[in-house]
Structure 1
Amino acid sequence: MILVFSKTCQVAVELAKRAPEAQFLGRDAADLSDPDACAKAILAARPTAVINAAAYTAVDKAEEEKEIASCINGRAPGAMAEACATLNIPFVHISTDYVFDGAGQAPFSPDATTAPLGAYGRSKLVGEQAVAAAGGIFAILRTSWVFSAHGRNCVKTMLCLSETRDRLTIVNDQVGGPTAAASIAAACLQAVVALQARPEAKGIYHFAGSPDVSWADFAREIFAVSGRPVDVVDIPSSEFSTPGKRPVNSRLDCTNPSALGITQPDWHADLDEVLTDLGVSK
């Protein structure tokens, strides 16, 4: 039995479709602000593997809530990883491109130097370090720009705005790989299988949609595929100020997941599926 932390996040919903036999722990059963309770939940359930899909994801609010973000994204995954190491079972943890500073234009490799720009990225990096330090069998999947037919994400936001707006200004100098939650869920399950067969494959992996694209061009594709007549006007990120800094370059080098039997997804195909699920395809 696979134990999954989170019931309602985008990836957890997709995991439930693909692994309905798994046990899903929501906030009522596993409070990530209590790392010890998370570890105890794992030791009590004695699963065959654990996937942590839960996280503190409020990038801007994290600047005011650094301690809780660090606990949920940092100490809790570390406690989970330690419990998994005790049971000698795989632990799959989802991380983010925000552990990098976004400098340059080249894709970041898994072993590239980390340098988070804000509290959210720092909290996720603390989690990565704690998971690795636990000494167990783990896979950290760094991903970016998650979207799906549920939850809060860019695709649903653009569709909502298109209901009342025919012109939008969107950042064009932030570039990355939009990644469907469904693809991330499938990758997590494949990572479990791979680690069970080959524990030596443990490590940090990058998993994001291809090809890389700017937020503005991604929005254009959303409107084109959904048949929404919205004019997208490019603006630099300097004109869109937020409390939490975003990396300008979110490109991830995704060649290494092949070691887990995982291939990089095409976000165009995934976007088509999501829009079909939402009933807004042309």
Structure 2
Amino acid sequence: MILVFGKTGQVARELAVHSDVTCLDRGAADLADPAACAAAIRAQSPSAVINAAAFTAVDAAEEREAEATVINGAAPGAMAQECATLGVPFVQISTDYVFDGSGDTPWQPGDVTGPLGAYGRSKLAGEQAVAEAGGTYAILRTSWVVSAHGNNFVKTMLRLGAERDALTVVADQIGGPTPARDIAAACLKMVKTLASEPDKRGIYHFAGAPDVSWAEFARAIMAQGGRDCTITDIPSSDYPTPAARPANSRLECSSFETAFDMKRPDWRDGLAAILKDLGEA
């Protein structure tokens, strides 16, 4: 049995459909209590653990950094330590926000990190705690997660596109939209591979292709979703937010593809599947 922390998030909901997966909600294991997370692993005796839960409110993290750091930093560290003790693989989902977003070259897993805000710092703390636990672990950095579940860019654009005939969308942030269903498949492949090949532990990148701007992504959503809504490009400076967003969220994914024999997903196919799930196709 594979134990998953998280039940209502985008990736957790995609993991939950698999028969060999047990998902824990906040009532069963609150990430604000790292010791309770470790205890939940001991009680379940899983074959592997995936952490798909996190404090993901990027702007709110600026005001609640201590809380975010416990949930995104200390809790994954406690999970990884327990998995190391039990000798089972652990996969932690992380983010492009651990980088400063400079330049236009895709980020390599070994590149120097430099978070711009509290959310990125909290997720980087989690990466460091997981690595320090010393077990069989993998950290999967991803970006721009979308699905038919919860709140995300695809669902927001579909809603606004139905209400308005024109929108302005940021065009100077570039990254790879990544369907949650593909992230779930990647996590499952990782824990199963690590069980027999623990030498593949480490940090990996996994994001949808091709890389696009938010504005380009929005135009694709409108086109596939049948929305007659014009998208106008704007710079990030025209859409200020409490937390700075990285301009360059491109992730170099070749080491993941080689280690786990999975290609980067084409987000256009993923978008079509999301629209079908939403009854929009």
With the length of structure 2 as denominator, give the TM-score of the two structures: 0.99
The corresponding residue for 2:100 is 101
1:218 matched to 2:217 = yes
Q: Find the aligned partners of 1:204 and 1:172 in 2 and give their Cα distance.
A: 29
Give 1:227 shift.
Answer: 1.1
Q: Tell me the secondary structure at the aligned position of residue 139 of structure 2.
A: strand
Give 1:22 shift.
Answer: 1.6
1:147 matched to 2:130 = no
The corresponding residue for 2:274 is 274
Q: Find the aligned partners of 2:192 and 2:223 in 1 and give their Cα distance.
A: 37
Q: Find the aligned partners of 2:19 and 2:113 in 1 and give their Cα distance.
A: 36
The corresponding residue for 1:88 is 87
Conserved? CA contact 1:194–1:261, under 8 Å = no
Matches within 5 A, 1:176-255: 176-255=175-254
Matches within 5 A, 1:248-267: 248-258=247-257, 259-267=259-267
Unaligned runs of 5+ in 1: none
Q: Tell me the secondary structure at the aligned position of residue 182 of structure 2.
A: helix
Q: Find the aligned partners of 2:263 and 2:44 in 1 and give their Cα distance.
A: 31
1:4 matched to 2:4 = yes
Q: For residues 24-74 of structure 1, what are the alpha-carbon distances to aligned partners after superposition, in whole Å with 9 as ceiling and x for unaligned? A: 110000000000110111111110000000000000000000010000000
Q: For residues 83-128 of structure 1, what are the alpha-carbon distances to aligned partners after superposition, in whole Å with 9 as ceiling and x for unaligned? A: 0000010001100000000000000000000000000000000000
Corresponding pairs, count: 280
Give 1:260 shift.
Answer: 2.0
Q: Find the aligned partners of 2:223 and 2:22 in 1 and give their Cα distance.
A: 39
1:16 matched to 2:16 = yes
Q: Find the aligned partners of 1:262 and 1:57 in 2 and give their Cα distance.
A: 26
Q: Tell me the secondary structure at the aligned position of residue 163 of structure 2.
A: coil
The corresponding residue for 1:62 is 61
Q: Find the aligned partners of 1:132 and 1:76 in 2 and give their Cα distance.
A: 13
Give 1:175 shift.
Answer: 0.3
Q: Find the aligned partners of 1:24 and 1:164 in 2 and give their Cα distance.
A: 36
Q: Tell me the secondary structure at the aligned position of residue 246 of structure 1.
A: coil
The corresponding residue for 1:117 is 116
Q: Find the aligned partners of 1:9 and 1:164 in 2 and give their Cα distance.
A: 26
Q: Percent identity?
A: 62
Runs of 4+ in 1 over 2 A off after TM superposition: none
Q: Find the aligned partners of 2:19 and 2:9 in 1 and give their Cα distance.
A: 15
Q: Tell me the secondary structure at the aligned position of residue 163 of structure 1.
A: helix
Q: For residues 130-168 of structure 1, what are the alpha-carbon distances to aligned partners after superposition, in whole Å with 9 as ceiling and x for unaligned? A: 000000001100000000011110000001111211100
1:159 matched to 2:149 = no
With the length of structure 1 as denominator, give the TM-score of the two structures: 0.98
Query: Residue 9 of structure 1 aligns to which amino acid in structure 2?
Result: G
Q: Tell me the secondary structure at the aligned position of residue 16 of structure 2.
A: helix
1:76 matched to 2:55 = no
Q: Find the aligned partners of 1:50 and 1:210 in 2 and give their Cα distance.
A: 27
Q: Find the aligned partners of 2:65 and 2:152 in 1 and give their Cα distance.
A: 22
Q: Find the aligned partners of 1:159 and 1:99 in 2 and give their Cα distance.
A: 29
Q: Find the aligned partners of 1:270 and 1:179 in 2 and give their Cα distance.
A: 8
